[in-house]
Amino acid sequence: MTASAPQKAYVLHRRPYRETSLLVELFSERDGRVGVVARGGRKPRKGGPVLEPFRPLEVAWTGRGELRNLAGAEPAGSAAALQGEALYLGLYLNELLVRLCPRFDPYPRVFEVYEQALAALAGGERDFPLRRLERCLVEDLGVAPDWGRCSGCGASVEPEEYYALEAERGLLCGACSPAEAAFPGRAVRFLAGAEGDPGPEDRRRARDLMRAVLGPHLGPRPLESRALLQSVRRRGGRS
């Protein structure tokens, strides 16, 4: 069977499949998320494992249907060196993509921002690459609120005002929302990329706002990487 043309991809997740194979979720540049079976993928490979997270690969697959057969995977660079907390943040990004991206739906902009995020995490950055990828993802999935205005009265989002998020309606200013307007406009504008670093408190509020945007789409099952990260931070004495 003819294999697909090779393209760049990353391993998002892998698990044992049958006797010696692996079931691998890939995030590919042209086709988005793709599930492939790597036959014999659990056998030791000369030169070490290739199908590992955070390493750029050139992959090709054969077959049709929901699961394809991996026809080839070659390293296309070295893996992003993610250690400690950065590793868990990287795993969080992978889990987001697995949960939210439908298979065979291309997200080229998300792919680009994902690569940038891995490099930024490896370089020691924390909040910024995460928020950038989350924002790109919700926008390209079509589930982002309008970051720029109140969806009730249309007034533009002001740094000093506070806003509520309603799942059905989006961002609402204090006058338009019956709920408590808990998110500072500065945090909203930071998420939208309209403002630089607003400081630790507003960065936390931006994280919480993004969590509220993502929540309904992630479903009730908690994110494994989030629980892992929390336990790592507890052990390290951080909240």
In order of 65, 66, 186, the CA distances from 79 in angstroms are 30, 27, 35
Residue 6 near Zn ion by CB under 5 A:
no
Residue of 38, 121, 150, 209 interacting with Zn ion (CB under 5 A): 150
Q: For the CB of residue 174, give the shortest distance to Zn ion in the complex, in Å.
A: 8
- Taking the complex as a whole, the smallest distance from the CB of residue 168 to Zn ion amounts, in Å, to 15
Single-letter code of the amino acid located at 41: G
Q: Minimum distance from CB of 149 to Zn ion (Å)?
A: 8
Those residues whose C-beta lies under 8 Å from the C-beta of residue 138, and which sit 6 or more positions away, are 144, 210, 213, 214, 217
Residue of the chain from 149, 152, 212, 228 that contacts Zn ion (CB under 5 A): 152
- Please state the closest distance from residue 104 (CB atom) to Zn ion, in A: 39
Q: In Å, how far are 36, 128, 186, 188, 192 from 195, measured between CA atoms? A: 40, 12, 8, 9, 8
How, if at all, do strands 67-75 and 57-62 pair? antiparallel
Stretch that binds Zn ion, among 49-57, 65-73, 132-140, 165-173 (CB under 5 A): 165-173
CB of 142 to Zn ion, least distance (A): 23
Distance CA 9, CA 26 (A): 6
Stretch that binds Zn ion, among 40-48, 112-120, 153-161, 210-218 (CB under 5 A): 153-161
Contact status: 179 vs Zn ion (CB under 5 A): no
According to the binding rule CB under 5 A, does residue 173 interact with Zn ion?
A: yes
**Near Zn ion by CB under 5 A, which window of 63-71, 85-93, 118-126, 176-184?**
176-184
Q: How far is the C-alpha of 177 from the C-alpha of 166, rounded, in Å? A: 8
- Segments in the chain forming alpha helices (H): 85-100, 108-122, 127-141, 185-191, 200-218, 224-235
Is 159 a binding residue for Zn ion by CB under 5 A? The answer is no
102/178 with CB nearer Zn ion: 178
Q: How many CA atoms lie within 13 A of 155 on its CB side?
A: 13
Of these, 110, 176, 192, 206, which contacts Zn ion (CB under 5 A)? 176
Residues lying near Zn ion in the complex (CB under 5 A) are found at 150, 152-153, 173, 176
